[in-house]
Structure formats: structure tokens, C-alpha cells
Homo-oligomer: A and B are copies of this chain.
Amino acid sequence: MRKRAAARQSDVLNVLNTSDRPMTAYQILEQLQENEPDIAPTTVYRTLSALMDLGHAHRLESIKAFVPCRCKHVESVPVLAICDGCGSVEEHDGSGLLPTLTNLTDQNNFRADRHIVEIHGQCGTCAA
């Protein structure tokens, strides 16, 4: 039995929200397969793309994993702080970075479409 896109998307979001850690596409796949054994990687990647277009999920480029978007900064700059100790991720609104970033890129007339800001380090708990 197949599902339409919207249903898939909420399935994937559910999986992401159930975890307190970022998940790789194949971890998500594995979860989904518990209920629907013959889902393929393609489907997961397709659904994740849609979710990211909608601003409902982020991809952590530096660790190839995905988190649900928990902030309300749809058109702004997500800042994702990744703890290398426990793997947890904090999300912040990085709108405040825009003026400085724009200053840098304006030098060469670069027109920015999308900003990626990731910080690696130790969260409050792990650093203590």
C-alpha cells in the first residue's frame, strides 16, 4: 500500500522527532522499514528533499545527517551547533549574521541564496 507525499513527509518527520539525535538517511530508512518493509533509499531522499524545501528539516552537511527544524526561521540562517561528545544538536536563528556575511560577499558581487552554518564543539553538558 503506497502513501502520498504528505503522509510520507509526516512519517519521516515523526521518525526524526522521535530521536534526540540527528539521523542519517539510512537510519531513517531502517525505522520506516519496520512498518513498511519495502521502502527504498530513493523514497527517503525524495521525502527529505521535500521537507528541506519546506523548511521542516535540515541536513547537517558536515556529518551527513538530518534533523527536524525546531525553530521558526524559515527564510533566514539556521545555525546548527553539533556536540562532538554526545551527538546532540542545538538550533539557533542566525539572522544576526547576515549583515556581516553580506559585507564579505558583496566585495565580489556574490549573490547569496542559501547559508550553511555549522559549529562543532562540546555542548554544555559534555564540556562541563
In the complex, chain B residues whose CB is within 8 Å of the CB of A116:
61-62, 116-120
A92, CB-defined interface residue at 8 Å: yes
Question: A90 and B119 in contact (CB under 8 A), knowing A97-B101, A104-B79?
Answer: no
Number of copies of chain A assembled together: 2
In the complex, chain B residues whose CB is within 8 Å of the CB of A112:
81, 119-121
A72, CB-defined interface residue at 8 Å: no
In the complex, chain B residues whose CB is within 8 Å of the CB of A111:
121-122, 127
A76-118 contacts to B, CB under 8 A, are: 79, 81, 83-84, 90, 92-94, 96-97, 100-101, 103-105, 107-118
Cβ–Cβ contact A123 & B108, under 8 A: yes
What's the least CB distance linking A112 to chain B, in Å? 4
